[in-house]
Amino acid sequence: MELLKLENISKIYDNNTIVLDNINLKIRKGELIAIMGPSGSGKSTLLNILGIVDSKTSGNYYINGKEVEELIKNKPNKLRNSFFSFIFQYFALLKQYTVLENVMLPLTYRKCSNKERIIKSEFYLKKVGLLEHKDKKINKLSGGQQQRVAIARALVTEAEIILADEPTGNLDQKTGQDIMELLLEINKLGKTIIIVTHDYNIAKQCSRIIKIVDGKIISDECY
């Protein structure tokens, strides 16, 4: 059974702007998917609906075969966080906090000791090669390092699926490629990753490329 399934998903705003038009999509566990398309074509909206931070206007969305509305009825945040973590173009880190504090943040409401939160966060900081920078303030880091912190923060919750909205869009090509290699490595360990990107050099490293124009999927190919 597919991990995620969108059936006839549409997103329409009150002013009748059709942002997503009847999207059908099945995503299997462990896939590494690139979503490409012109600016304004609905990529971020699709990612946000997948991650349950935006709502659909119509259609059905299933996670592991279960209707999402049913699934999230009781504990929406808990369910969302167990399935999804996000990475953004502008990193979305708290500048006045340290690297370690940023990575620990998603664990704030977990039922575990502070010691356990630190151990887990340091484990993932090591994975992204930033353990020795853990006590630095975010604004002392380069863009590539900041995106690594954001990746560690996305990993620390141990969510199944990483949704990355133009994760290399604010980085130079070499740094962007380093970030992509980290995502490839994480994918090899079994994580499902969906990346919105404008960069074909990034997309061609994925195992599947979905192209969206005007809210419609115009191609969906596996490599």
Does position 197 interact with ligand ADP (CB under 6 A)? The reply is no
| Tokens representing residue 211 in the block | 């192209």
Instruction: Return the SS3 of 216.
Output: strand
Task: Identify which of residues 23 and 159 has a Cβ nearer to ligand ADP in the complex.
Answer: 23
| Tokens representing residue 156 in the block | 């620390």
Distance, CA of 166 to CA of 196 (rounded, Å): 5
Do 64 and 1 contact (CB within 8 A), yes or no?
yes
Do 86 and 165 contact (CB within 8 A), yes or no?
yes
Site mask, ligand ADP, residues 44-83, x = CB under 6 A? Answer: xx--------------------------------------
200 binds, among Mg ion, ligand ADP, none (CB under 5 to 8 A by kind): none
Task: Identify which of residues 35 and 99 has a Cβ nearer to Mg ion in the complex.
Answer: 35
45 binds, among Mg ion, ligand ADP, none (CB under 5 to 8 A by kind): ligand ADP
Task: Identify which of residues 41 and 102 has a Cβ nearer to ligand ADP in the complex.
Answer: 41
Task: Identify which of residues 44 and 205 has a Cβ nearer to Mg ion in the complex.
Answer: 44
* Chain residues 124-163 in contact with ligand ADP, contact rule CB under 6 A: none
Return the bridge partners of 25, or none: 6
Does position 44 interact with Mg ion (CB under 5 A)? The reply is yes
DSSP H helical ranges for the chain:
43-50, 68-72, 76-83, 99-104, 114-127, 143-156, 173-188, 200-203
* CB environment 119-130: b (16+ within 10 A), e (fewer): ebbbebbebbeb
Q: Which stretch binds ligand ADP (CB under 6 A): 32-40, 83-91, 99-107, 143-151?
A: 32-40
* Chain residues 101-140 in contact with Mg ion, contact rule CB under 5 A: none
Q: Which stretch binds Mg ion (CB under 5 A): 23-31, 43-51, 64-72, 169-177?
A: 43-51
Does position 39 interact with ligand ADP (CB under 6 A)? The reply is yes
Do 140 and 130 contact (CB within 8 A), yes or no?
no
Which residues of this protein are in contact with Mg ion, per CB under 5 A?
A: 44
